[in-house]
Structure 1
Amino acid sequence: MTTMQMGTIQLMTVLRKSDQGYILQKGKTEAFLSEQETTRKLLNGDKVDVFVYMDKQDQIVATMNLPQMVMGTYGWASVVKVVPNLGVFVHIGSSIEVLVSVDDLPIVEAVWPDVGDKLYVTLGQDKKGRLLAIPASEEQLRDEWEIADSVKLNDRVSGYVYLTSKEGSAMLTERGNRAFIHHTEREREPRLGEYVNGRVIDVKEDGTLNVSLLPFKHERIADDAEAILTYLKQRGGVMVFHDKSSPESIQETFHMSKSAFKRAMGRLMKQRQIIQEDGYTKLIDK
């Protein structure tokens, strides 16, 4: 039984060469170092810094490719694989991939991280001593926050989402600011670890931000109007949708609210691109 802490960097001594690598030793603990995990040739008696962990066969192994975080420290890790009902695997800067368990991910798989997303994690262990990556909590991230003292309303910000909920999402911006995205300020719920771009809608007294992922109102109206025009052109310039159409049918067809639909229709009529008559909306032939 080893007393060596897995998931840490240890200074170990080369005990002997084996067919496929080296046997390292520290105290009474031995670890296998594959040749593929070395960064230089080693001789018996050499002392090397290695990252030690338990492999799938419950053997202690080592690598000279040191990770970006160890037990007790945090760092950003890229998602490299998603396994339904199990979790996601992240790259921690070493040659190994570490599991983020389903227990530490959102209940709804639709907002699980995808390949390429990034999580702010530390290392932990399962009951068998094998490595796990554990996402940082809101409390643990507080030490990383920077006071947003130079950020202004409508400034553009980008960063990674570290918290998801029905109420909203929280992100850490590239400047290190904590930003909250209320559920009314997004078209969909971002994934945990997703990189998002938004604009500042409030700078709070505690130095954190409120951010919207939605475009400005005039930009939204322009986008909605373009969607309506595209729909009309695809149907020969005539559609059955108009100001009196049901909110449900508008949402199902155009993926916008009825109020947004009416604003876009109003713009198009003011620009004399469409006309409504006899229960139909028609393109004006110019």
Structure 2
Amino acid sequence: MLNPGTIVSAKIIDHNEQADFAQVDGQTLQVISEEKYATDQEITGMVYENQQGQWCLQVKLPEAGLESYGTGEVVQIRRDLGVFVNVGLVDKDVVVSLDELPLMHTLWPQVGDQLTVNLSYDKKQRLWAHLATDEYFKEHARFSREFTRNETVSGRIYLTKKVGSFLKLDDQRLAFVHYTERQDEPHIGQAVSGRVIGLTQDGRLSISLKPLAYEEIADDAKMIMAVLQRAPEFHIDFQDKSDPSAIKEYFGISKGAFKRALGSLLKLGYITTDLNGTTLTAKGQGYHE
């Protein structure tokens, strides 16, 4: 008996309007291919049983196999069984068993998520998908020796534990999110974006999924922001070249303090300034203490 997921060579024995048929070890298989083949032609493909119980031989091999890993998209969720993944087999989705998934259903992959899986079959000739392990990712992705703080990165979660979430970034680097650096725990297969905050001992980028901590601004800068937010068109005629006495009379602070306040607001992106004065940016207009 042929085992699902195996790669075999077979000979074309018959045709009809819908498909070609091949035979191997006395078993007839429907050929899944966009091409048409001649009788007695030898072809190679993956054996599997489709949703209708027909045994098939698909010529275009999926990335995921009995000895290889590939990407599959989650297409269905069943709490009593697991998640169904489309690995590229026509009319056949393969299940990742609930035994491999977290106890909390909120951490299960969701429809549309991408998973890295390989395949196996059981004694009943059923095909199963299995999540790639951390060992697989350590071998096929890459660790880092250095990092750029606050670099924005994106990737997918492949493992979640109490201590945090493990992910592979889009550029193949490995990363880790400590449980204190996330507002909500992401689920397996979820695409996330965050910022780099460090490096773990084993060379994974340490990622935070939290927004940057609110940047406090000094009292002088807050006062200038309040003036700008009430000014017509969010604009004042003062800038860092303005007369010190005029600054002192209007704002009650020295020109040095005024320039420092403008500098901090410029750095935060809250204002623009030129010889005509100072104007709030859209970001500055949305500022609330």
TM more than 0.5: yes
On the 8 A contact 1:53/1:61 being kept in 2, the answer is: yes
2:15 corresponds, among 17, 40, 45, to 17
Per-residue CA deviation, residues 41-72 of structure 1 (Å, 9 max, x unaligned), is: 22211112221113457653222342122111
Q: Deviations over 1:11-51 (max 9, x none)?
A: 2111223575333123x2424215xx321122211112221
Alpha-carbon distance change, 163 to 199 in structure 1, aligned in 2, over 3 angstroms: same
Q: Which runs of 4+ in 1 moved over 6 A?
A: none
Query: In 2, distance between residues paired with 1:75 and 1:147?
Result: 21
Q: Which residue of 2 aligns with 1:234?
A: none
- Whether the aligned pair in 2 keeps the contact of 1:21 and 1:32 (CA below 8 Å) is no
1:114-263 aligned at under 5 Å gives the runs 114-149=110-145, 151-218=147-214
Most deviating of 60-69 and 39-48: 60-69
User: Hey, what's the Cα distance between the residues in 2 that align with 1:92 and 1:105?
Assistant: 18
Match of 1:74 in 2: 69
Aligned position for 2:27 = 30
Equivalent positions of 1:264-275 (< 5 A) are none
Partner Cα separation in structure 2 for residue 63 and residue 178 of structure 1? 34
Is 1:44 the counterpart of 2:39 in the alignment?
Answer: yes
Q: Matched residues in 1 for 2:187 and 2:136: separation?
A: 20
Any gaps of 5 or more consecutive residues in structure 2? 218-287
In structure 2, distance between residues paired with 1:67 and 1:219: 49
Identify the residue that residue 110 of structure 1 maps to in structure 2: 106
Change (3 A) 1:72 1:106: same
- Matched length: 219
Q: Deviations over 1:94-144 (max 9, x none)?
A: 323111111111111111111111111001123311111100111222111
| Structure-1 residue corresponding to 2:280 | none
Conserved? CA contact 2:62–2:70, under 8 Å: no
Counterpart AA for 2:149: L
CA distance in 1, matches of 2:138, 2:28: 37
Structure 1: stretches of 5+ with no match in the other structure: 222-272, 275-286
Q: In structure 1, the residue corresponding to 2:214 is in which secondary structure?
A: helix
Q: Secondary structure at the match of 1:147?
A: coil
Partner secondary structure for residue 217 of structure 1: coil
Q: CA RMSD in A?
A: 2.5
Counterpart of 2:139 in 1: which secondary structure?
helix
- The aligned counterpart of 2:80 is 85
What secondary structure does 1:184 align onto?
helix
Tell me the distance in 2 between the aligned counterparts of 1:38 and 1:56.
17
Distance 1:94 1:156 in 2: 35
Whether the aligned pair in 1 keeps the contact of 2:146 and 2:199 (CA below 8 Å) is no
Cα offset for 1:214? Answer: 0.3
Partners of 1:202 and 1:9 in 2: how far apart? 44
Percent of aligned pairs with the same amino acid: 35
Amino acid at match of 1:75: G
**How far, CA to CA, are the matches of 2:45 and 2:34 in structure 1?**
11
Change (3 A) 1:89 1:219: farther
